[in-house]
Amino acid sequence: MSDRRVVITGLGAVSPVGIGKDSFWDSLTNGKSGIDYITKFDTKDFDVKIGAEVKDFDPTLYMDKKESKRMDLFTQYAVAGTHLAFKDAKLSSDDLDSNRTGIIIGSGIGGISTFETEKEKLMTKGPNRVSPFFIPMMISNMAAGQVAISFNIKGPSMTITTACASGTHAIGEAFRMIKLGVIDAAVTGGTEAAISPMAVAGFTSMKALSTRNDEPRKASRPFDKDRDGFVIGEGAGILIIEELEHALKRNATIYAEIVGYGATTDAFHITQPDPNADGARVAMQLALLEANVPLDEVDYINAHGTSTYYNDKLETLAIKDLFKEHAKDINISSTKSMTGHLLGAAGGIEAIATALAIKESTIPPTINYEVKDEECDLNYTPNVKVNREIRYALSNSLGFGGHNASILLKSYK
């Protein structure tokens, strides 16, 4: 495998706790929750009434108004996140060889809101009233397609769909493509906009969501004994990653280096994780092996940490099984305690958080951690940020279907 080095040079966050890198990071480090009552639809008949919505999003700040109306919200978020990432990277399309630049973006669900809207038209007004833009708005690859059009990117363009691991898989695959010399730069991460009646009803029927409607900001409580499910979120986390020399030639700011990637499958159950946590453990192990990094040099893990019973318990088990005694010395946090769970976009937004943690030597907290769970007995950075120099950090994502992905970031010197 080639030894080309890959670095992160641009960050674009569209999140429930802020739009833009600075607003996003300020909220995370100050323990600010983005969870509140759902406003996108009437939840009167729903058992779950809370979610983590993106606030004050204006698509026309990032794209033509007419074009925005032909995009589902998940695509709008991806295009907006890419604009923010390009601006943060001090990069324009003219700075890139369009044929040597790729787009790999994850989305678990795609345009579900468009699907619901057009299905309602079909049922109430007939087939001739379904929009001609229905298909290109709904299909999950269109986020990558619209980003390519907006930024004139002509290299490999694709969508990764592995449920809640989509964003991390996308970053990992983009990293590999640059490392192997297929491309020199990539737009990567994840996007999702699934706070819709069907999605909320479906996740509620699975008993996956928190029903702590009386305390929205306290509903997401990863690793806490009183956790009762995840809180659905939305947004996009888009990163610009480049081959090191490509970045240095243009004097880019480097947030962190990507040095390892692990991907595994549980082959156990459609929703529940493997009770032995082998898949999650091996994904982390593979990322470390690729970089030849000793276990005791990992200082931080941005955990998948969904606030569901099985995920938090078994991710803890995976960390302990892999790191042994060093596990207790690692700072772990789940930023989902503030952002909610962005599903296919989670890996993108959490990679941004991990890169900033390394760059700023600051570990964001896991908020709402109040009651210790004897099965979750590691250092989850409870409630208050911690200042710590980070040599290596992992970002984990674990998806329905048994999909596991882990990326390893390194402080760039």
Catalytic residue IDs: 164
Please compute, for residue 338, the number of CA atoms within 13 A of its CA located in the half-sphere on the CB side.
28
Q: Measuring CA to CA, which residue among 268, 280, 276 is closest to residue 305? A: 280
Give the Cα separation of 288 and 307 in Å (integer): 26
Give the Cα separation of 223 and 388 in Å (integer): 21
Residue 270: burial class (beta carbons within 10 Å; 0-12, 13-18, 19+): exposed
Maximum distance among all Cα pairs of the chain, rounded to whole angstroms: 64
* Nearby residues of 272 by Cβ (< 8 Å), 6 or more positions away: 310
